[in-house]
Amino acid sequence: MKKLIRQDLYDILYGCTILGTGGGGNLKKGLSLIDKALDDGKEFNLVNLEELPDDALIVCPYMCGSISPLSEEEEKKYADLPRIKEEPALKAYKVMEEYIGKKFYGVISTELGGANTAMAFYVAALSGNYIIDADPAGRSVPELQHSTFFINRLPINPMVVANEFGDVVIVKDVVDDFRAETLVRSMAVVSKNSVGVVDHLASGKELKKAVIPGAISYALKIGRAYRKAKKENSDLALEIAKAGSGYILFRGRVKDFQWEDKDGFTIGNTYIKGEDDYFGTEYKIWFKNENIIAWRDQKIDVTVPDLICMICDDKKEPLTNPNYEIDMKVSVIGLPAPKEWRTDEGLKIFGPRYFGYDIEYIPIEKCFKELDK
């Protein structure tokens, strides 16, 4: 067990944002949740999978949103409703515990991301429970089934859904994970576009086989490398690539970007014009919430499940989609995907073909030379 201090927590969330490959939610919101809990004297305790008792009960808390615009009538309706004092995800956690009738041991994050990982941490801290050093994605992912829970057939139900007004629903049975997501999202639409969810109740024994171990420690390592490089004014992208056994893919300035909201996803392209070593070349990244495929001079460079991460060199901060500005100086980093994604089954649901690109996945280390360490 390791007690995480504020610096660790900040490092983890920065690491998660880098590993968020453009998605994973708003880092500021995540940091403020952590601050709130620390200021209330709450503790964040991390345990690894080996320490996890077989009979411990673990759940996965997170926020699920929708981005449908609110009509004036809806705004008015929501304004008149009461608000609960606690975070909806925490409320959902408490109702789930009551429903199951047993004390929970801890929580696991639903993906690595600036906001989503923070919400899981917050629920653990406020309920006095443990954070498991693991994750079902080991990065951020655009869709529900992009999860080792899904690959390992860990049931998603029962789920508890709660909103900021105090409505609480237990989704007891679902036909499959897709219906689960559809139902939860439809409730978000009538809950000011946001609900707290708790799902994937599992015993320690079940969980050990169904997640990526050490994922939080990995985020911490990346976040620390980032912080150290920033403090020492050294090359951010290089230090992050080193920490994650990855590669620098490109450096340059944002030439153009476009995006649209489609069926709840932020879909678009980022175009970067090369500078320095990359002068005279161009880079393009296609994203669906997360960065999915990158091309260098129209030739495919890196694809999912490997990670395509971006750093803004002007602000020295990780970048999330679609928060670009023209002429922004950026570095693109490629990191190898957790091995769970590189299996046949992993690639079937989270390889380039899943996104409609009929190309073979080539592991990033086969395309690039090792960095000078």
Partner 1 sequence: MKKLTFDDVKDILVGCTILSTGGGGDLNKGLKMVKEDFENNLEYKLISLEEIEDEALFASPYFCGSIGEEGDKGNYSKYTKIKKSPAVVAVQALERHFQEEFSGMVSIEYGGMNTAVAMSTAARLNKFIVDADAAGRAVPDLQFSTFYVSKKSITPLAVADDVGDIAVFVQVVDDFRAEDLVRSLSVVSGGMVGMVDHPLRGKELRKAVIPGALSYAQMVGKAQRQALKEEKDPIKEIIKAVKGYLLFDGIVKKDTEWENKGGFTLGSIEIEGKENFTGQNFKIWFKNENIISWRNEKILVTVPDLICVVETDTGYPLTNPFCKKDMQVSVLGFKAPSVWRTERGLSILNPRFFGFDVPYIPIEEKLK
Q: Is 167 in the site for partner 1 (CB under 8 A)?
A: yes
* Sole binder of partner 1 in the list 38, 190, 238, 349 (CB under 8 A): 190
Does residue 187 touch partner 1 according to CB under 8 A? yes
What CA–CA distance (Å, rounded) separates 30 from 48?
Answer: 22
> HSE (CB half, 13 Å, CA atoms) of 42?
21
At 312, is the secondary structure helix, strand, or coil?
strand
Q: How far is CA 156 from the centre of its chain?
A: 18
Touching partner 1, residues 33-92 (CB under 8 A) = 81-82
Distances (CA, A) of 307 to 59, 285, 302: 26, 12, 8
Judged by CB under 8 A, the number of residues near partner 1 is 26
Phi, psi of 12 (to 5 degrees): -60, -45
95 near partner 1 (CB under 8 A): yes
8 Å CB contact between 336 and 278: no
Residue from the set 49, 143, 178, 227 that interacts with partner 1 by CB under 8 A = 178
Establish if 96 lies at the interface with partner 1 (CB under 8 A). no
On the question of a cis peptide bond just before residue 158, with omega within 30 degrees of 0, the verdict is yes
- Does 169 engage in binding with partner 1 (CB under 8 A)? yes
Instruction: Give Cα separations from 132 to 10, 60, 97, 221 (angstroms).
Output: 17, 10, 17, 16
Binding of partner 1 by 197 (CB under 8 A):
no
The reply on whether position 170 binds partner 1 by CB under 8 A is: yes
Nearer to partner 1, 192 or 284 (CB): 192
Q: What is the smallest separation between the CB atom of 170 and partner 1, expressed in angstroms?
A: 5
d(CA 116, CA 222): 17
Check residue 209 for interaction with partner 1 (CB under 8 A).
no
Q: Which is nearer to partner 1, 155 or 336 (CB)?
A: 155
For residue 199, the one-letter residue type is: D
Q: Can residue 171 be called a binding residue for partner 1 (CB under 8 A)?
A: yes
Q: In the range 215-274, which residues lie near partner 1 by CB under 8 A?
A: none
Q: DSSP state, 53?
A: -
Residue closer to partner 1 by CB (options 124, 174) is 174
Q: CB 159 → partner 1: shortest distance, Å?
A: 9
Applying CB under 8 A, among 2, 36, 179, 329 the residue interacting with partner 1 is 179
Would you give the DSSP letter of residue 146? Answer: S
**C-alpha neighbours within 13 Å on the C-beta side of residue 340:** 20
Nearby residues of 144 by Cβ (< 8 Å), 6 or more positions away:
150, 177, 178, 180, 181
Minimum CB–partner distance for residue 357 and partner 1 (Å):
22
Spell out where 11-125 has E strands: 44-47, 57-65, 106-107
Return the residues of window 98-127 that contact partner 1 according to CB under 8 A: 99
Distance CA 174, CA 113 (A): 26
Could you give the CA distance from residue 365 to residue 373 in angstroms, rounded to a whole number?
Answer: 15
Q: How far is the CB of 238 from partner 1 (least distance, A)?
A: 45
Question: To the nearest whole angstrom, how small is the minimum distance from the Cβ of residue 175 to partner 1?
Answer: 5
Q: Which stretch binds partner 1 (CB under 8 A): 21-29, 166-174, 230-238, 349-357?
A: 166-174
Q: Of 189, 300, 349, 367, which lies in the binding site for partner 1, with binding defined by CB under 8 A?
A: 189
Is residue 174 close enough to count as binding partner 1 by CB under 8 A?
yes
CB of 97 to partner 1, least distance (A): 13
Piece of the chain touching partner 1 by CB under 8 A; list 106-114, 160-168, 214-222, 355-363: 160-168
To partner 1, the closest distance from the beta carbon of 194 in angstroms equals 14
258: enclosing H helix or E strand: strand 247-262
Binding footprint of partner 1 on the chain (CB under 8 A): 81-82, 95, 99, 165-175, 178-180, 182-183, 185-187, 189-191
